[in-house]
Amino acid sequence: QVQLVESGGGVVQPGRSLRLSCAASGFSFSTYAMHWVRQAPGKGLEWVAVIWFDGSRKHFADSVKGRFTISRDNANNTLYLQMNGLRAEDTAVYLCARGSEAFDMWGQGTMVSVSS
Amino acid sequence: DIQMTQSPSTLSAYVGDRVTITCRASQSISNWLAWYQQKPGKAPKLLIYKAFNLESGVPSRFSGSGSGTEFTLTIRSLQPDDFATYYCQQYNTYWTFGQGTKVEIK
């Protein structure tokens, strides 16, 4: 089955860390660039980060630069988002998505709530 | 950074109406633009890529046009399943989404 499944979300205090995972199946994961996109409650979509198919290039939105890192394990078809120094404004559903240009496949998302 | 501005933010329409949503880029993005549909609690769904190319499986009542800085998404005859929020996205320079347009039932 062709799908992306996120996990690792939860409630975390400000300043703490969290690592999200996105398990891919049913397609050749190692040939696609992968992204994280987030959506705060009741708000629009915000692109967060990208990693090239081979991990050679990464880029981050200004809002998370220096705090978040993106990585991938092509042997195990998994994408990661390491989130450090979390803030209240990072509260959102985090979705992984596939695509070197437009995003043609999305996961259902995992919720991250940053609150004391 | 490239900013994307959609209009209107909300649109009320009847089933059967022709609906147009506009997306403007803060600088030229050639035709590197996609449109997505999102329903509450669901992941976005790709409708249009490279400004006017229909994604496989998407009904032909959806169409996209434009280039440079101004783009439109048109729904030829609005169906009950089309009431949702629509986002444009540029991928000329990294990726940026518009703020969304909610299409509501009138």
Q: Which candidate, A68, A48, A50, places its Cα nearest to that of A58?
A: A50
Contacts of B55 in chain A (CB under 8 A): 104
Strand bridging mode B62-67 / A92-98: unpaired
Q: Do B96 and A47 make contact, defined as CB atoms within 8 angstroms? A: yes
Task: For residue range A100-116, list pLDDT tens digits in order.
Answer: 999 999 999 999 999 99
- Kindly report whether the peptide bond that precedes residue A14 is cis, defined as omega within 30 degrees of 0: no
**List of chain A residues whose C-beta atoms are within 8 Å of the C-beta of residue B89:** 45, 47, 102-103
pLDDT classification of B46: cutoffs 50, 70, 90:
very high
Note the pLDDT tens digit of each residue in A41-84. Answer: 999 999 999 999 999 999 999 999 999 999 999 999 999 999 99
Cβ contacts of A103 on chain B, cutoff 8 Å: 34, 36, 44, 46, 89
Which pLDDT score, from 0 to 100, does residue A57 have? Answer: 97
Strands in chain A per DSSP E: 3-7, 10-12, 18-25, 34-39, 45-51, 58-60, 68-73, 78-83, 92-98, 105-106, 110-114
The answer to whether the CB atoms of A59 and B94 lie below 8 A apart is: yes
C-alpha span between A21 and A32 (Å, rounded) = 16
Cβ within 8 Å, pair A95-B43: yes
What's the rounded Cα separation, in Å, for the pair B67 and B60? 20
| Region of residue A95 (phi > 0: left; psi between -120 and 50: alpha; otherwise: beta) | beta
**Amino acid symbol at A31:** T
Q: E strands of chain B, at which residues?
A: 4-7, 10-13, 19-25, 33-38, 45-49, 53-54, 62-67, 70-75, 85-90, 96-97, 101-105
Q: Do the chains contact at A103 and B98, CB–CB below 8 Å?
A: no
Q: pLDDT tens-digit profile of A3-40?
A: 999 999 999 999 999 999 999 999 999 999 999 999 99
